[in-house]
Amino acid sequence: MNLKRWMEDWQAKFAPLGVQVIVADVAQSSVVVDVAERTIVLAPSLKVSAAERMLHKVYKWWQRQPEVSGGRLCSLVSC
């Protein structure tokens, strides 16, 4: 698997939603979703299969935000 291409594909998928996907040094094996900054941060140590599952879930969640919240973003925990 070409990881650079994989990241570019996800970045392109999130771009129309105004969300940035980056890899940065965060807590080991985690994904950080910063709703206020519209950013998803992947840990470099995260396995691609786990990152793929999380990005799918977050993408679906972010796509639904305007319809479930009346135009305002909700946190992953509550609206």
The tens digit of pLDDT for each residue in 39-78 reads: 999 988 888 999 999 999 999 988 887 655 555 555 554 3
Which secondary structure element, helix H or strand E, spans residue 34, and what is its range? strand 31-34
Distances from the Cα of 20 to the Cαs of 70, 71, 76, in angstroms? Answer: 22, 19, 16
- Tell me 76's DSSP state: S
Q: How many domains does one find in the chain?
A: 1
DSSP calls for 8-23: HHHHHHHGGGT-EEEE
Does 55 map to a domain?
yes
* pTM score: 0.76
Does 32 map to a domain?
yes
* pLDDT at residue 17 tops 70: yes
Does 71 map to a domain?
no
Q: What angle do CA 65, 26, 16 make, to 5 degrees?
A: 30
